[in-house]
Amino acid sequence: MEARAEAKYVRLSAPKVRRVVSLIRGRPVAEAQALLQFTPSPAARVVEGVLKSAVANAENNLELAKDTLVVARAYVDEGPVTKRVHPRARGRADVLAKKSSHITVIVADSGR
């Protein structure tokens, strides 16, 4: 059985979140939560929340035990880019791309 959780339109760029997500992929939930807790990145806070939500979904909806759960899959997709204008010298302008991402974490029973 698998339980999933998603966070959409997170105002962090996908490559930065992917670095954090790659740390927890395939690990037991307790170990993944400990890793995220001590990872010094704003993305770690968001991924930690998504992981907690996936674990809660597994416990409440599928009645799985928390100590047997493993991060089966975790991936990050790019969300929409919001474009803003940044004034530059001599009346010129640059386009500022404010990127977002969609984070998905899927936990599964390890069968222990």
**Tell me, what amino acid is at 15?**
P
Q: What is the pLDDT of residue 99?
A: 97
pLDDT attached to residue 110: 83
Cα–Cα distance, 90 to 93 (Å, whole number):
9
pLDDT digits over 13-36, tens only? 999 999 999 999 999 999 999 999
Task: Please provide residue 79's backbone torsions phi and psi, each rounded to the nearest 5 degrees.
Answer: -100, -170
Q: For residue range 43-65, what is the model confidence (pLDDT) as tens digits?
A: 999 999 999 999 999 999 999 99
Q: Please report, as a single letter, which amino acid is at residue 99.
A: K
The answer to whether 56 touches 4, Cβ cutoff 8 Å, is no
- Please give the CATH architecture assigned to the domain spanning 2-109: Alpha-Beta Complex (3.90)
Nearest Cα to Cα of residue 70 among 20, 30, 41: 30
Backbone angles phi, psi at 46, to 5 degrees: -70, -45
Question: Model's pTM, two decimal places?
Answer: 0.92
